[in-house]
Structure 1
Amino acid sequence: MPSYAEIAQLFGWRSKNAVFRLVKKLKARGIITQDEKGRLIPQKLLSPLKLLGTVEAGFPSPAEEELLNQISLDEWLIRNSAATFLLKVTGDSMREAGILPGDMVLIDRSITPKNGDIVIAEVDGEWTIKYLRKQGGQIVLVPANPNYPPLKPRAELRIGGVVTAVIRKYR
């Protein structure tokens, strides 16, 4: 989970009181807890779901409903819950990567970013989501939309985490 200061920065808040109010609400709803050192710990949000089978994305095939297993989306999507958090996407610079405005992205801060990963990054004081590319010894943040230019940090670059999943609600 991000620290209080990182939460304030991610949301663009100047006041830590706003972060404390948010954390208080999240704790009241059972979404997070705090350990003995005050670190924020996310809780499992979803019950296990029934995995009924597979579906063909190519040519249609007969479907039979059969309970194959139960899976927990938390366990399937999250490797390190203490280092994982969600962000809501605004803007369309990653649309060709299938990341659209309104989507939620799952971020893992414990994964070491590598060339080609989609990351959230602070570039010269501003947060963004882009592909991480290494070009000629320099790190470049590349959008997945030709209407936006690649970002080359002028002064500061900090990787906040690697995107591990995209969650989209259709209805």
Structure 2
Amino acid sequence: MKKEITAIKNFITKHKRMPSYQEIARLYGYASKNSAYRLIEKFIEQKKIIKDDKGFLSLVDDNHGLPILGSVQAGFPSLGEEVFHQSISLDEWVVRDQDATYILEVEGDSMIEAGIHKGDYVVVERTHQFKPGNIVIAEVDGDWTMKYFAKKDGKEYLQAANPDFTDIYPKEYMTVHAKVVGVVRRYE
């Protein structure tokens, strides 16, 4: 079974998405999608793949965590010492509710002063619990955006973290669907 899950991981790395049942069948030379379906069901039983309430599949991160070696001064330089403290799984640290959490790639620069840049990935949690100051994913009059949730004089609106952008007040409706709980950026 390890070979099959590795092939799926490799597919995800290459294509940035889960393979379809038809693609899984092709990956392993199965004659039908039913064989691929049975394989996925085995992986779900083994908790290597999860299926959410809408039927979407995602790979369970089997990363056992990265070591925390200490802390580093971000102000004035100080003597550093590498001491193994513990390990941390980024999944466990950022994700509170696996079924309600997903990742979005950032486009645009309206949140740069919040440290969120084009090409970053935001970890997002579907929730109805948010307050002013939270960075949210919202639908405003049919368009989707990521901004700070704000409230003034009883009116809810969205606020960018870039002075080049104006506040967004809904003309018809605004629905907050999720809250940003983390940002991931890779430095090359």
Partner amino acid, structure 1, of 2:178 = G
Aligned counterpart, 2:83 = 66
SS at match of 2:180: strand
Aligned counterpart, 1:18 = none
CA distance in 2, matches of 1:122, 1:44: 30
Please show how residues 64-103 of structure 1 align to structure 2 within 5 Å. 64-103=81-120
User: Which structure has the larger Rg over C-alpha atoms?
Assistant: 2
CA distance in 2, matches of 1:24, 1:111: 31
Aligned-residue Cα RMSD (Å) equals 2.5
Say which structure is richer in helix. 2
Q: Calculate the TM-score normalised by the size of structure 1.
A: 0.78
Partner amino acid, structure 2, of 1:50 = P
Matched-pair contact (CA < 8 Å) for 1:40–1:82: no
CA distance in 2, matches of 1:144, 1:103: 15
SS at match of 2:175: strand
Q: Structure 2 unaligned runs (5+)?
A: 1-16, 25-42
Deviations for 1:48-68, whole angstroms, at most 9, x for unmatched residues?
A: 111111111112111111110
Matched-pair contact (CA < 8 Å) for 1:49–1:70: yes
CA distance in 2, matches of 1:147, 1:140: 17
User: Aligned pair in 2 of structure 1 residues 96, 45: CA closer, same or farther (>3 Å)?
Assistant: farther
Greater relative contact order, per chain length (Cα 8 Å cut-off, separation 6+): 1
Percent identity between matched residues is: 41
2:159 to 130, 135, 142: 142
CA distance in 2, matches of 1:78, 1:122: 23
Q: Calculate the TM-score normalised by the size of structure 2.
A: 0.71
Aligned counterpart, 2:3 = none
Please show how residues 1-171 of structure 1 align to structure 2 within 5 Å. 24-25=19-20, 33-34=50-51, 39-40=55-56, 42=58, 43-44=60-61, 46-110=63-127, 112-171=129-188
Partner amino acid, structure 2, of 1:107 = V
SS at match of 2:131: coil
CA distance in 2, matches of 1:100, 1:106: 13
CA distance in 2, matches of 1:89, 1:45: 25
SS at match of 2:99: helix
Matched-pair contact (CA < 8 Å) for 1:119–1:130: yes
Aligned counterpart, 2:35 = none
